Amino acid sequence: LTYVGLLAKPYEEPYRTYHDDYIAAQEDGAETDIDATFPMIPYGYRKTGFKSLAKPSSEHWLGVDQSTRDVAVRMLYGTRIALSIGVIAVSIYVTIGVFVGSMAGFFGGVIDLLVVRFIEIFMSIPSLFVILTLLAFVERPSIFHIMAVIGLLGWTGVARLVRGEFLRLRNLDFVNAAVALGFPTHRIIFQHILPNALGPVLVNATFGVAAAILTESTLSFLGLGDTSVPSWGQTLSEGYATSAWHLILTPGFAIFITVSLLNQLGDGVRNALDPKARK
């Protein structure tokens, strides 16, 4: 629907200059037809010069922030930032958690005991305070720092899930058959047991994306995020500082709707992977 509306919207005067410049740059004596599709809003998220704290209007759909930037554009770019941080951070800690949990659950014994104690130590530390402490040592925090910190601290839940699934599966007949056939250990772990243990991990990862978005928004709201990119938390912080209702409601609803949809997706994945829930 957005793309259809984009095509149906005729380009206005701000686009005409870009279009004419593009055509002039492409013309080298050859007659070629040039077709271009332009965005619905004719400026980027760094564009300034608008009326500060202007309310929503036909020109600025979601108003203008204190730094004279269009809020609608920053919200669109902020969606990309939020989802990128969520997906990449979750990918990092799922990878770590799957590896650690599979080793503990498959080998058991002393390895399992040491891994469980290590997980419990990590779980006893409040992750948000650790993130705040680590980012305080970084001169200019970026989204990559936030991704890395969230990814390196969030693996404990995945490790516990994978460990529990491996403890349940490692003595089943198909694993014993693989061992009897002389398959190498890494093949038994990653090709035979792990695919059957990923159901809870997928559900946890879906909820983890929502949690990572909340964490990033919290850091940006506190001023510890990447100030060079648009973030929902930054806009919400400006709304708190200026008491501008459109700077509070817009990012607030964006965070609420995104997190709610991801949680609903997690519930759907859990129901799809759980035969008891389908019944």
pLDDT tens column, 15-44: 444 555 555 555 555 555 556 566 667 777
For 252, residues 6+ apart whose C-beta sits below 8 A from its C-beta are 236
Q: Fill in the amino acid letter for 82.
A: A
Residue 203: C-alpha distances to residues 195, 265, 271 (Å) = 14, 9, 9
Alpha carbon 136 to its chain centroid, in Å, reads 22
Q: How confident is the model at residue 202 (pLDDT cuts 50, 70, 90)?
A: confident
Residue 104 and residue 111 in contact, taking contact as beta carbons nearer than 8 Å: yes
Other beta carbons less than 10 A from residue 240's beta carbon: 12
pTM of the complete model beyond 0.75? yes
By percentage, how much of the chain surpasses pLDDT 70?
84
To the nearest 10°, report the CA torsion of 49, 55, 58, 64.
30
**Least-confidence region, from 24-28, 90-94, 127-131:** 24-28
pLDDT tens digits, 136-167: 788 788 888 888 888 888 899 999 999 999 99
34-37 — which CB contacts under 8 Å span 24+ positions? 37/6, 37/7
Q: How confident is the model at residue 249 (pLDDT cuts 50, 70, 90)?
A: very high
pLDDT, residue 24, reads 58
pLDDT tens digits, 220-245: 888 888 888 888 999 999 888 888 89
Rg (CA), the chain: 25
**Is residue 96 predicted with pLDDT exceeding 90?**
yes
pLDDT, residue 67, reads 85
119 or 16, greater pLDDT: 119
Q: How confident is the model at residue 94 (pLDDT cuts 50, 70, 90)?
A: very high
SS3 200: helix
pLDDT, residue 33, reads 59
Helical H segments across 9-108, by residue range: 13-26, 71-107
SS3 70: strand
Q: Which residues of 88-126 are buried (b: 16+ CB within 10 A; e: fewer)?
A: bbbebbbebbbbbbbbbbbeeeeebeebeeebeebeeee
pLDDT, residue 256, reads 92
Q: What is the mean pLDDT of residues 54-68?
A: 86
Q: What is the mean pLDDT of residues 116-132?
A: 84
**Is residue 91 predicted with pLDDT exceeding 90?**
yes
pLDDT, residue 6, reads 41
Structure token pair of residue 156: 């404990």
Structure token pair of residue 104: 């503990």
Residue 65 and residue 54 in contact, taking contact as beta carbons nearer than 8 Å: no
**Is residue 1 predicted with pLDDT exceeding 80?**
no
Other beta carbons less than 10 A from residue 154's beta carbon: 23
Residue 78: C-alpha distances to residues 37, 45, 54, 74, 207 (Å) = 22, 9, 20, 6, 19
Q: How confident is the model at residue 279 (pLDDT cuts 50, 70, 90)?
A: low
**Is residue 10 predicted with pLDDT exceeding 60?**
no
**Is residue 277 predicted with pLDDT exceeding 60?**
no
